[in-house]
Amino acid sequence: MNAVQELLDRIETGSVADLVTYLNGLGDDDKRMVARHLPAHLGERRRSGFEAEQRIRELALLYRLAGAACLGGAGQVADWLNRRELSWVEPEANAAHVMSVLSDRPEEWRRDLAVRLVQRLRPTTGSTWRRIQALGNWDLAAALVIETGAEPPENDAFVSGWVLRKAERQRVNPNQVLGDDRLLDHMLPRLFQVQGVADGLMWDRGWGEGPTLLGQLVAMAGAGRIPRQMLLDGCVSRFLAGADAAEAAPFVTLWRELEPEVAEIPVADFVRMLPSASSPVVQLALEELHRAEPALDGELFAEAVLALAYRPEKKYMAAAVKWIAAASPSRGALAVAALAPVFHVDTPGLRERAVRVAVKLAPHTAEPGREAIREAATWLPVDLRERVAAAFGAVEEIQPEPMGAATLTAAPLPAPAPPISSVEELAAELAEPLWPEVPARFERILDALVRLTHQDRDAVVAGLQSWWRTNWQHPFDAHTYVYGISGFDEDIRSLLMRCALAVVSPDDSRALTAALNESSRRWPSSEPAPQRFVQRRFREVMSLFERGESVPVLLATPTSPTGHVDAATLVTRMEELGGTEPLESDFLQALLRLPRPVDPGLVARARKLPSQAGRRLAACLHDGGLPEPVVTWELLAFDRPAHYPKSLREAHAGLTPPEGVPEQLAELWTLSPKPGYPLFSRHMVWWPPSMPSHREAVAAHVLACLPWVMDSTDGQVEVVAALAHAGGPAGIATASTIVIGMGHRLPAQRALAADAITTLAAYGELPAADLGRAVGHLVRGEQVKLNRVTGVLDEVTSAGAHAEVRAALAAAIPLLLPGPGEKAKAGLGELLKVAVRAAEATGARSDMPGLADLAARKGSSQLLHQARRLYEVIVT
């Protein structure tokens, strides 16, 4: 047996100790022989299918050891150790084992490998724990750096990896001594320069009473092990570099724990942080500047308060006003110009206080400051402007020019791609990644698979051989898919692949279907009814192919980007079937996709169809399409499981099917809210194109699922944007799904809800009053956050939907106004501000229950100020 075969046999046994012993005993000639054959062997094994790839993962450590011991150059070994298929190893154990087979390499060679491995480290993403799990070759690179004394190149990932690994070890062993770490002196200066160290430095803050990483740095500075001034200077340099709040957090904590003396505070640097630093840094700077105020000369004081006044956060504007007010008249007068930007804020109390301070300092203010105040005062309300004019001289009144309203437009959906016309094109489409799930693309592939298989099944089988060999296990084992891949029987990507498998290898497909059916009896699907309906159509096609049968055409393939099927095209497809009965789920899907209204002239053509389904189609066309289910809406209080978001009340829609519809449609149009675990699906994007003429029915199902993913990054609000392009009535269910989407934690997802509003408004189909009702009830019920909803409404007002927002808020605001003895919702003043904008743009005048009483209250809060403005605009 030659060295290569013996090595491969030892790898297959899975014994690390045996393999290490064998590798350390190999001669140079044998190692060169292995080096020539090992990469080719691994590449060939990777191409042998799913099971082979799984086996490579299991044996990844042994393959890594073989390459590290036998490949010649440091560059070759670095390439080998960075191969993706060999990354499935435990990093620390991997490092120890690889080091054991590198011991006979020259030190210069190992130093070269250390540098190459450090260079190839890449930053990781996700939670702190995920980042620790994804450190890859960091441990091996660090071990080589320590052993050889190599000077590693600058690489953020190497530094952040050190912090993450130290944090993890601190968690396992709270008594570890950071000062004993052999990389500490090298890493310490870089901590303040790189991205990605914050979560590691903060990870151990809540683990009991043991020393933290930051605490150990402070202790070492106190003991003289590391220079205290280096830590202070490092924090300042990090703050000045503009780190965001998360990245700055550990350095803010470190600064506080170092407890610098007043003399150690670099006041000029802290002043220069104020304009652009993250909020935690600004707060720290403000505290430290107050401590060191005697060291602030008049120029720095003026610079500091001016920077605070121009910050977007109102709390820092307020801090600037307070600081100026507390200064002596001569010192405060130097900074009067910092009050000017505060005159423009929409917080009446803060604006009025700034005016009072300015008037108080007027006798001490030089002309440049007086001029700045007069210019800023031009936009003040009349009463405040007159007070400023009395103290600073005449103030010009400027009337703002009315802004023209934007024109509402709906972005058109992209036109459908042309049908796939050849087996080669079908094979190419199947070979491309089928993620994310785009219904139009899947429909196009399914349509081609059905048509081309009917025309020449042998040609399809031959054309998909490469796809079959690459994507399916050989030899085939159904249990691998049933028990090894979660949800394999439910997501449409897998169902589409199974349809193609049923053509290429019907025996394998039948075996898989039988095994999955057996499994589903024990673990039935938890998908909601719309997704089960979508799945049923794909399984129907799969079953057709498994029986060795085919049909010339699918009836329900969309002809429109909304998912609709042109009625005339549907009749033509039925004519192509002749007397053959269509697939039932495909037929019902086609009926659901008929647009409204239907051309009456098509009824006569449909009545000539010879099949029973033809008669059903003719009746449906005669009636103008399928009937609508009955949609109800209510607010309910459910006690959900602990890990679900809690609301006082939830909005729910119910569905009741019309009498006489087929069983599948009755199931699809039956929905009632239930306590306990709510409905859930990650595939809601399929639902609008499945019922494109029944928007409220789709919305009812979406409303049952959508609220539970409003903290996720899965992009589920796409379904809300898709609903806007659908047909059929739009009422309270549609409005509620939009409001739920407006409450998503991610701005990009809320933008999809904004698109839905502007699209429906552009089509003239937005149920504005229902949208307002939903806003009022869902905010009161704490199912969505008011500030998120307000931001979306402000955005769509700017986009031209001012009339619709005006109508929506006319319904929402009375529901949200505080009753007697009730505290107002936080952020309600901002919502009234949007209502003022919308009302001013429309010029509409009407009464609003409860607004007059609120406007009549005394006070200077944002809520009362905006209530008075709104009352003036719409009533007086």
The SS3 call for residue 158 is helix
pLDDT tens per residue across span 763-797? 999 999 999 999 999 999 999 999 999 999 999 99
pLDDT tens per residue across span 479-529? 888 886 767 788 899 999 999 999 999 999 999 999 999 887 777 888 999
Helix ranges, 259-313 (H): 267-273, 279-291, 298-309
**Concatenated DSSP letters for 573-587?**
HHHHHTTSPPPHHHH
Residue found under tokens 């070979």 = 431
E strands, 166-228, are none
Cβ neighbours of residue 589 closer than 8 Å, sequence gap 6 or more: 533, 537, 555, 556, 690
* pTM, entire model: 0.72
pLDDT tens per residue across span 156-215? 999 999 999 998 888 888 888 888 889 999 999 999 999 889 888 888 776 656 678 898
- Chain-wide mean pLDDT for the chain? 92
CB 813 within 8 A of CB 831: yes
Confidence of residue 406 (pLDDT cuts 50, 70, 90): confident
pLDDT tens per residue across span 518-536? 887 777 888 999 999 999 9
Long-range contacts of 151-156 (CB under 8 A, 24+ apart): 152/114, 152/115, 152/118, 152/186, 153/115, 153/118, 153/119, 154/190, 155/118, 155/119, 155/121, 156/123, 156/194, 156/195, 156/196
Cβ neighbours of residue 297 closer than 8 Å, sequence gap 6 or more: none
Number of neighbours of residue 551 by Cβ within 10 angstroms: 19
Query: Half-sphere exposure (CA, 13 Å, Cβ side) for 840?
Result: 18
pLDDT tens per residue across span 212-252? 889 899 999 999 999 999 999 999 999 999 889 989 999 99
* Residue 206 pLDDT: 63
* Residue 483 pLDDT: 80
Amino acid type, 143: A
Rounded distance, CA 48 to CA 52, Å?
6
- Looking at the chain, the whole-number percentage of residues with pLDDT higher than 90 is 76
Question: Residue 273 is encoded by which pair of tokens?
Answer: 């942080």
pLDDT tens per residue across span 278-327? 999 999 999 999 999 999 999 999 999 999 999 999 999 999 999 999 99
CB 563 within 8 A of CB 594: no
**Does residue 455 have a pLDDT over 60?**
yes
Rounded distance, CA 339 to CA 309, Å?
7
* Residue 210 pLDDT: 66
Burial class (CB in 10 A: 0-12, 13-18, 19+), 98: buried
When pLDDT is averaged across residues 803-821 and rounded to a whole number, the result is 95
* Span of 22-31, 44-53, 187-196 with lowest mean pLDDT: 44-53
* Residue 204 pLDDT: 73
Rounded distance, CA 732 to CA 167, Å?
51
**Does residue 388 have a pLDDT over 90?**
yes
